């Protein structure tokens, strides 16, 4: 497959694995890159820049294909050592960074000077245009259905992607709700140059997470996600569980008076407990509506090969027959 995204990142297929806290370790990133996509290590899951440097070395031992690092810019009082993480990325000769969260403007120049390509993940056309204007090479456009933080505009991909296609000059990938060859063919039809997937990649053999998480994803339907932290304007789409129900009840009772401190038990320090220990009810963890389309736990290579062959059959077969 050849799109602006495969060319930009020197990859075989336009399929990216988005950064995922406590999921995006070297094992998953290397598996995705080895299968012809772009694997991404989640930078902030590594506690220090030195840890990230070690994770990059580990990934390089597992693949000689290009892979990236996700840097999520959080709205926090005590920001992580972003310059240190960027140094680890540059010194590790990583060629792609997926930025997400706040505007990455302060760091884009340093990355670009070092020859790193920047793909910024955002949830609106205005933020995508901003990313384009500050020099990002591509964007990942995350629709309302996505796992993680869908923003506050609630625009689903059937509207967001063609809007992005009409407005942007730089290439973009469709993110949120992508699971299979139908998703890829649809994303390309809507003007995207590829897809970014989160939730789907968790239910793969190589994803270094507890079996309980993979089973929960396979068992869940598209009705099982909830939006939390909306009153804090930090909306996150998560899989429903006992902690999420508790959190939503607090939101209902406290209304606009709710503060982060009120929900610490449900959201802080949750990821290692869920992903490593398999304690599914430990708190709120990101998950997309796409769970409704996930029914198995293939290897990453099986998944990517299947997506590519399905999309090819749709494009060459079904769509051609319809207009023939
Ligand atoms: C468990 C989980 C953790 C995530 N953590 C991050 C993160 O740390 N940084 C980030 O930019 N995106 C994160 N995301 C979002 C994904 O990179 C991706 O944009 C999203 O999952 C796409 O939607 P999908 O799940 O429908 O494929 C996370 C998603 C999931 C499911």
**63: CATH:** 3.20.20.70
94 Cβ contact partners less than 8 Å away, ≥ 6 residues apart: 56, 67, 68, 69, 116
Return the number of other C-beta atoms located less than 10 Å from residue 239's C-beta.
22
Same domain, 63 and 158: yes
**Ligand 1: which of 15, 16, 17, 18 to mutate, most ligand atoms within 8 Å of CB?**
18
For residue 100, give the ligand 1 atom closest to its CA. 11
Residue 17 alpha carbon, nearest atom of ligand 1: 17
Tell me, yes or no, whether 143 lies in a domain: yes
Q: Are 42 and 70 in contact (CB under 8 A)?
A: yes
Centre of ligand 1 from the C-alpha of residue 321, in Å? 36
pTM above 0.75, yes or no: yes
Domain that holds residue 44: 4-204
Residue 149 Cβ contacting ligand 1 at under 6 Å: no
- Choose one of 204, 231, 265: the last residue of a domain: 204
> Are residues 96 and 8 part of one domain?
yes
Q: Is residue 41 part of a domain?
A: yes
Alpha carbon 90 to its chain centroid, in Å, reads: 21
Burial of residue 82 (number of CB atoms within 10 Å: 0-12, 13-18, 19+): middle
Q: What is the CA radius of gyration of the chain?
A: 19
Closest residue by CA, ligand 1 atom 5: 20
Report the 3 state secondary structure along the chain: CCCHHHHHHCCCCCEEECCCCCCCCHHHHHHHHHCCCEEEEEHHHCCCHHHHHHHHHHHHHHCCCCEEEEEEECCCCCCCCHHHHHHHHHHCCCCEEEEEECCCHHHHHHHHHCCCEEEEEECCHHHHHHHHHCCCCEEEEECCCCCECCCCCCCCHHHHHHHHHHHCCCCEEEECCCCCHHHHHHHHHCCCCCEEECHHHHCCCCCCCCHHHHHHHHHCCCCCEEEECHHHCCCEEEECCHHHHHHHHHHHHHHHHCCHHHHHHHHCCHHHHHHHCCCCCCCCCECCHHHHHCCCCCCHHHHHHHHHHHHHHHHHHHHHHHHC
Residue 77 pLDDT: 75
Q: Would 47 be classed as within a structural domain?
A: yes
Tokens representing 257? 């008076």
Kindly state whether residues 180 and 233 are assigned to the same domain: no
Could you tell me if residue 159 is inside a domain? yes
Do β-strands 15-17 and 195-197 pair in parallel, antiparallel, or remain unpaired?
A: parallel
In this structure, is residue 211 part of a structural domain? no
Distance CA 275, CA 272 (A): 5
Q: Do residues 254 and 169 both lie within one domain? A: no
Q: Check whether residue 31 and residue 118 sit in a common domain.
A: yes
- Residue of 143, 198, 202 to test ligand 1 pocket, by largest number of atoms within 8 Å of CB: 198
Do residues 155 and 268 share a domain?
no
Q: Within this chain, do residues 248 and 200 fall inside the same structural domain, yes or no?
A: no
Please tell me whether residues 244 and 183 are part of one structural domain: no
Is any atom of ligand 1 closer than 6 Å to the C-beta of 143?
Answer: no
Q: How many domains does the chain have?
A: 2
Q: Mean pLDDT per segment of 10 residues, for the chain of length 324 residues?
A: 98 98 98 98 98 98 98 86 97 98 93 97 98 98 98 98 98 98 98 98 98 98 98 96 98 96 96 98 98 98 98 97 92
Query: From the alpha carbon of 147, which atom of ligand 1 is closest?
Result: 25
CB of 171 within 6 A of ligand 1: the answer is: no
Q: What is the pLDDT of residue 74?
A: 82
150/277 same-domain check: no
**Domain co-membership, 108 together with 179:** yes
Q: Is residue 20 one of the residues assigned to a domain?
A: yes
Q: Which of 23, 147, 201, 275 to mutate to test the pocket of ligand 1 (most atoms within 8 A of CB)?
A: 147
User: Ligand 1 within 6 A of 72 CB?
Assistant: yes
pLDDT at position 90, please?
97
Measure 320 CA to ligand 1 centroid, in angstroms: 34
146 and 238 both lie in a single domain: no
Which ligand 1 atom sits closest to the C-alpha of 140? Answer: 19
10 and 183 in contact (C-beta within 8 Å)?
no
Q: What is the rounded distance in angstroms from the CA atom of residue 222 to the CA atom of residue 9? A: 32
Which of 15, 19, 273 most suits a substitution to test ligand 1, by most atoms within 8 Å of the C-beta? 19
Residue 49 inside a domain? The answer is: yes
| Residues 255 and 124 occupy one common structural domain | no
Domain stop point among 204, 236, 253? 204
Residue 46: inside a domain: yes
């Amino acid at each position: 497959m050849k799109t602006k995204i495969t060319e930009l990142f020197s990859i075989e297929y336009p399929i990216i694995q988005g950064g995922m806290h406590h999921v995006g370790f070297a094992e998953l990133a290397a598996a995705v890159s080895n299968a012809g996509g772009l694997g991404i290590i989640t930078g902030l899951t590594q506690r220090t820049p030195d840890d990230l440097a070690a994770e990059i070395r580990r990934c390089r031992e597992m693949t000689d294909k290009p892979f990236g690092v996700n840097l999520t810019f959080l709205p926090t009082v005590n920001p992580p050592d972003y310059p240190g993480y960027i140094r680890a990325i540059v010194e590790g000769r990583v060629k792609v960074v997926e930025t997400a969260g706040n505007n990455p403007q302060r760091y884009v120049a340093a990355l670009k000077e070092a020859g790193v390509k920047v793909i910024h993940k955002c949830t609106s056309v205005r933020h995508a245009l901003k990313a384009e204007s500050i020099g990002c090479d591509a964007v990942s456009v995350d629709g309302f259905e996505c796992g993680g933080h869908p923003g506050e505009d609630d625009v689903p991909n059937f509207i967001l992607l063609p809007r992005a296609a009409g407005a942007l000059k730089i290439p973009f990938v469709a993110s949120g709700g992508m699971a299979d060859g139908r998703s890829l063919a649809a994303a390309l039809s809507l003007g995207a140059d590829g897809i970014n997937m989160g939730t789907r990649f968790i239910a793969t053999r190589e994803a270094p997470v507890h079996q309980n998480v993979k089973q929960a994803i396979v068992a869940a339907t598209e009705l099982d996600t909830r939006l939390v932290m909306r009153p804090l304007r930090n909306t996150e789409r998560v899989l429903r569980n006992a902690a999420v129900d508790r959190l939503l009840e607090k939101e209902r009772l406290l209304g606009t008076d709710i503060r982060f401190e009120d929900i610490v038990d449900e959201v802080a320090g949750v990821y290692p407990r869920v992903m490593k220990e398999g304690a599914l009810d430990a708190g709120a963890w990101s998950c997309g509506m796409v769970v409704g389309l996930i029914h198995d736990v293939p290897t990453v290579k099986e998944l990517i090969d299947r997506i590519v062959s399905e999309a090819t059959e749709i494009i060459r077969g079904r769509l051609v027959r319809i207009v023939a």
